[in-house]
Amino acid sequence: MRYLICYDIPDDKTRDNVVNYLERFAWRVQYSVFSCRLEKERAALVWKDLLAIAAESEGSSVLMVPLCKSCEKNLWLSTKPLEEEKKFLVV
């Protein structure tokens, strides 16, 4: 399933940790928005990891949204087409 992951993290170090973590398996759509494909079990682990990292900074928020196939095929993106993401593997 595809997931959309967004964050708002005021602390530079914590934000860098989140970015470094996500860049290992996700496609950066915008500065604070990533997209990836994950199996359900792996998604639960990613969510747990993101919460732990974000907890390092007060006032941080993280949003992880699963997208169904219908939602995924109706995505609109004004910059790069989603085909750019093919270099990322399902983890």
Domain extent at residue 40? 2-68
How far apart CA 50 and CA 33 sit, in angstroms, is: 13
pLDDT grade for 79, boundaries at 50, 70 and 90: low
- What's the whole-number mean pLDDT along residues 46-73? 92
User: What's this model's pTM, rounded to 2 decimal places?
Assistant: 0.81
Domain for residue 77, yes or no?
no
What's the number of domains the chain is made of?
1
The predicted-structure confidence for 6-29, as pLDDT tens digits, reads as follows 999 999 999 999 999 999 999 998
Q: Which pair of structure tokens corresponds to residue 41? A: 């079990």
Q: Is it the case that residue 91 has pLDDT exceeding 50?
A: no
Domain for residue 23, yes or no?
yes
Q: Is it the case that residue 4 has pLDDT exceeding 50?
A: yes
Q: What pLDDT shows up at residue 85?
A: 53
